[in-house]
Amino acid sequence: MKILIIDDERSIRNSLKEILVDEGYDVDVAENGAQGCEMVDKEKYSVIFCDIKMPEMDGMEVLDRLAAMGVEAAVVMISGHGDIQTAVECIKKGAFDFIQKPLDLNRILITIKNATEKVSLVKETKILKKKVYGQEMIGESGEILKVKDMIEKVAPTDARVLIIGSNGTGKELVARNLHQKSSRSTAPYVEVNCAAIPSELIESELFGHEKGAFTSAIKQHKGKFEQADGGTLFLDEIGDMSLAAQAKVLRVLQEKKLSRVGSDKDIIVDVRVLAATNKNLKAEIEKGTFREDLYHRLSVIVINVPTLDDRKTDIPLLVDHFIGQICSETGMPPREVDPEAMKLLVEKSWTGNIRELRNVVERLLILSGSRITAEDVKSYVL
């Protein structure tokens, strides 16, 4: 772990460096704010100790500069002239902690421990959010750029969105990106796969139930709408939802309130609903299996996610992306793809879309040699 000390007093920065080096830390020093910012721009630090009273650029200015640079390190402000007001101002500006001189060794070591735990937690949270809320949408084809543009326009609003497309095209990814780029991004994001829940349980899953509402209801249960209150509810495969459940969803969308199974009490909810389907809902309406009024409520905005065969120019980008992702997750060494092998992958028909492509890339990484060749593609894919 690397630590940076920014202090204009040589004795302070050198003595603090000696102490921290003795404790096993890798330590750099800077004699003024400008030099410190330059070092942070070139090197990654976990903790930065910064004096407040310095000539030319004081500690507060350094704090502002580090924030503007997007530095993730925990910044600890140190001063011999500290007071409560100064400490509060530092914390408001993003400092992790404030320590007064003369510096106490135990306090410094505890602060470093807490700071590194905080930095690790922030990194883990970012990784988790990336996994949960959606990764970057890979592609530069005209078809996928239209989808990205629609997301940028629609995400900041509370408009309901119906996402349509074949299996494996990335409808869930569109939904996660809509949530992540919305004002509700810090609130819950709840997914429901309507096709995976038995029709007799879908109402309980969506709206919750009271204790004793039915035989197995041994305690009160909050449904997905309540769990998503203030945030986003994604109803995947909504074309498979029963007509009875559709009627209740329609009521929630109209009145913004629901009642749990076994209760007549209304509960107010504030939820943005996104829905997705691989079915032709207009055809389902004709057959009488989907409510037309619900369709119109859900389809304020319709986003059509293209098939992989409709965006073949994105395949090389997606292959490279999946190689990096899979190798990072599994520890396998990255592999180059020969041009002829890539040509075969681009020419192949992808009925399973993005999901199928990712599986194929993983298969090739496992079964190929030091490079993925055309022969590998012919043997294991075509």
Beta strand pairing status for 161-164 and 301-304?
Answer: parallel
Check residue 248 and give its pLDDT. 87
Work out the pLDDT band at 86, boundaries 50, 70, 90: confident
Q: Which of 79-88, 130-139, 309-318 has the lowest mean pLDDT?
A: 130-139
- Give exposure, 17-26, as e/b (b: 16+ Cβ within 10 Å): beebeeeebe
Check residue 217 and give its pLDDT. 72
277 has a pLDDT exceeding 90: yes
Work out the pLDDT band at 340, boundaries 50, 70, 90: very high
126 CB contacts (<8 Å, ≥6 apart)? none
Work out the pLDDT band at 127, boundaries 50, 70, 90: low
- For residue 259, the 8-state DSSP code is -
Work out the pLDDT band at 126, boundaries 50, 70, 90: low
| 171-180 helix and 105-133 helix, angle to the nearest 10 degrees | 140
The residue among 104 and 199 whose pLDDT is bigger is 104
| Both tokens assigned to 201 | 């349980």
Check residue 208 and give its pLDDT. 84
Check residue 124 and give its pLDDT. 66
Distance of CA 302 to the CA centre of its chain: 23
Three-class SS of residue 78?
strand
Backbone angles phi, psi at 159, to 5 degrees: -65, 140
295 has a pLDDT exceeding 90: yes
3-state helix, strand, coil in the chain (%, to 5): 50, 15, 35
Whole-prediction pTM = 0.65
311 has a pLDDT exceeding 90: yes
Q: CA 108, CA 141: separation in Å to the nearest integer?
A: 53
137 has a pLDDT exceeding 50: yes
Work out the pLDDT band at 134, boundaries 50, 70, 90: very low
274 CB contacts (<8 Å, ≥6 apart)? 160, 161, 163, 175, 178, 179, 232, 233, 234, 235
Candidates 298, 215, 224, 216; CA nearest to 260 is 224
267 has a pLDDT exceeding 60: yes
**Taken in order 249, 253, 255, 256, is the CA torsion positive or negative?**
positive
Candidates 347, 344, 350, 362; CA nearest to 306 is 350
**Domains present along the chain, CATH in parentheses:** 2-128 (3.40.50.2300), 142-304 (3.40.50.300), 309-380 (1.10.8.60)
Where helices occur in 311-373 by DSSP H, the ranges are: 315-330, 339-347, 353-367
Work out the pLDDT band at 141, boundaries 50, 70, 90: very high
- Average pLDDT (162-180) is 93
Q: CA 367, CA 382: separation in Å to the nearest integer?
A: 14
128 has a pLDDT exceeding 70: no
Three-class SS of residue 242?
coil
